[in-house]
A = this chain, B = another copy of it.
Amino acid sequence: MEEAKGARSARSGGASAESHHPAACDGALAKAFTFLGKRWNGVILATLQHGPLGYAELRRAVEGISDSVLSERLSELSAAGLTLREVKTGPPITVRYRLTPDGTALMPILGELAGWASRHLPDTPTVSRRGSHG
């Protein structure tokens, strides 16, 4: 990610946080947040940990997410290899999304994150902005 420094791309901007600054954060962590820092990705991944779900099931489970964003997110997560889109030819034809092993490997960490939030985050939503995952 150090070479991303010159690019100053708004996209990979966070990824270049490592850069050359002594206080900058780890490049790998920045990369992690490339996904987890986008709204809904964490919740979508966590929602899939109990087993594959169809698009409509996901839409209902991830309350608050819009169709277009869900579609976009699933596309990105699949492209990144964290989820897998499975089509069964039926009848009836079914489409489901499941976690890949890479995606599944994240679950224990998300569990710890939940524990941290329970213990360390204020109960009242003091955050003013849209958390990417509500």
Least Cβ–Cβ distance between A45 and chain B, in angstroms:
8
Q: A15-B134, A16-B134, A47-B23 are in contact. Are A36 and B37 (CB under 8 A)?
A: yes
- State how many copies of this chain the complex holds: 2
Q: For residue A19, which residues in chain B have a CB less than 8 angstroms away from its CB? A: 61, 63
Q: Which of B14, B42, B102 contacts A134 (CB 8 A)?
A: B14
Number of chain A residues close to chain B: CB under 8 A = 84
Q: A38-B131, A63-B24, A133-B37 are in contact. Are A32 and B79 (CB under 8 A)?
A: no
Binding site for B on A (CB under 8 A): 1, 4-5, 8-17, 19, 21-26, 28-43, 46-47, 49-51, 53, 57-58, 60-65, 72, 76, 79-82, 102-103, 105-106, 109-122, 125-134
